[in-house]
Amino acid sequence: MTEGLFAREAAVLMQTYRRQPVEFVRGDGVWLFDAAGNRYLDCLTGLAVVSVGHGNPRVAAAVADQVSRLTHVSNLYYTGQQVELAERLTALAGLDRAFFANCGATANEAAVKLARRWGQLRRGPSCYEVISLEDSFHGRTLATLAATGQPGKQALFAPLPPGFRQVAAGDLGALDAAVGTATAAVLVETVQAEGGVVPLAEDYLQAVRDLCNEREVLLVVDDVQAGMGRTGQWFSWQGLGFEPDVATLAKALGNGLPIGACLARGEVAGAFDYGDHATTFGGGPVVCRAALAVLDEIEERDLLGNARARSDQLAALLADLPGVRGVRGRGLLLAALLEEERAAEVVRLALAEGLLVNDVRPDAIRLAPPLTITATEAEEAVDRLKRALR
Ligand SMILES: *Cc1c(COP(=O)(O)O)cnc(C)c1O
């Protein structure tokens, strides 16, 4: 049955994804079930998305209630869920206003457009540039691809929109040299997730903040993957001694329902006027109800505390595995660094052991389990990875 599905997929889908040979039909907490009833411990969560667990009852109930009550009206009208979500997110982030998008790329598009408007109003039409970092990832739309510091991915779709450039991560001198009168914003991830789960140093990030202040350019944090509790803080910059002017969210915000957000300081958000930016689906009542339920789950179950405790536990257990030479990352966004370049093979072997992880680098295995993972489940995950490594 599942083999038939693979052949149908190969015949009818654009072949942009090299999928693992498994068909999932159901999820429950940290567990996923395939069509044959086999159970898998999900330590990837659809790439840091399903943070409060598969089939989360609170999220499911909120979505079911909202979808039958009121699914969509457009942003021509008011809905309470969107306003409440904006109130809660801005309060948690220490920012003032929100614009809701549909995913990470469209949240970043909103941030780029906001930065361009802000630059234009502040310094005129030649202030539009966004400087990001090498090995970054900001999305797959043309503009967010232009901001993504991966030349191999960019070259395939040339010409990309102008106004983007990248400098080496961690090199303050290079950033200092690149920031000029054309610069509107600097865009960073605090942990370069797709870049191999590489955390940027705290003192570097603080120095970037200082540089942005001195040169009067915006600091935008792409918190699409590292935000929403993943690092053990609500947002990944918290605890690192600096604050952004603009931040973007998506992945875990709706626990699998598509929602993104761009948050900004009030003075910056004011650069958008009526009609400057819009989306049909963004901030709809169903996805906002899902996100509100996610916030309730994180708060009421102290999932930030659990993320920190399970992070320490997992990092220690992973570091002790034979074939692992180190662990990097923050919170529950971790990479086990292998002694050999065999991550793709280990991912396949882990699947056979009933464990979902991914090869974020040829020598690095990414783990991003649900924030709800228990100590016992974390041990089980490491046991399964150990068997895969053998
Ligand atoms: C996944 C990701 C994006 C893109 O999000 P999509 O929802 O796939 O558009 C942007 N930035 C970061 C840091 C991401 O991890």
pLDDT tens digit string along 294-311? 999 999 999 999 999 999
Residue matched to tokens 């200082």: 210
Q: Say if ligand 1 is within 6 A of residue 190 CB.
A: no
Q: Cα(172)–Cα(207) distance, rounded to whole angstroms?
A: 7
3-class DSSP state of 235: coil
Q: Say if ligand 1 is within 6 A of residue 223 CB.
A: no
Distances (CA, A) of 286 to 29, 259, 290, 292: 21, 10, 6, 10
Q: Cα(274)–Cα(116) distance, rounded to whole angstroms?
A: 16
pTM of the model: 0.98
pLDDT at 252 over 70: yes
pLDDT, mean of residues 79-90? 98
Q: Say if ligand 1 is within 6 A of residue 230 CB.
A: no
Q: For residue range 88-139, what is the model confidence (pLDDT) as tens digits?
A: 999 999 999 999 999 999 999 999 999 999 999 999 999 999 999 999 999 9
Q: Cα(67)–Cα(69) distance, rounded to whole angstroms?
A: 6
Distances (CA, A) of 186 to 169, 220, 221: 12, 6, 8
Which of 81, 88, 76 is closest to 65 using CA atoms? 81
In the chain, the amino acid numbered 227 is G
pLDDT, mean of residues 244-267? 98
pLDDT, mean of residues 40-50? 98
Q: Ligand 1 mean position to 174 CA, how many Å?
A: 25
Q: Ligand 1 mean position to 135 CA, how many Å?
A: 14
Which of 24, 3, 96, 16 is closest to 256 using CA atoms? 24
Q: Say if ligand 1 is within 6 A of residue 193 CB.
A: yes
Strands 164-167, 191-192: parallel, antiparallel or unpaired by DSSP? unpaired
* Substitution candidate for ligand 1 out of 17, 251, 287 with most atoms within 8 A of CB: 251
In the chain, the amino acid numbered 386 is K
Task: Indicate the burial class of 37 (C-beta count within 10 angstroms; 0-12, 13-18, 19 or more).
Answer: exposed
Cβ proximity of 43 and 332 under 8 Å: no
Measure CA 64 to chain center: 25
The separation between the first and the last C-alpha atoms of the chain, rounded to the nearest angstrom, is 31
pLDDT at 258 over 80: yes
Q: Please, where are the H alpha helices in 179-277?
A: 202-215, 266-269
What are the backbone dihedrals phi and psi of residue 242, each rounded to the nearest 5 degrees, phi first?
-155, 165
| Confidence band of 1 (pLDDT split at 50, 70, 90) | low
| Confidence band of 3 (pLDDT split at 50, 70, 90) | confident
Which of 134, 137, 198 is closest to 171 using CA atoms? 134
Cβ proximity of 371 and 306 under 8 Å: yes
* Substitution candidate for ligand 1 out of 150, 194, 257, 330 with most atoms within 8 A of CB: 194
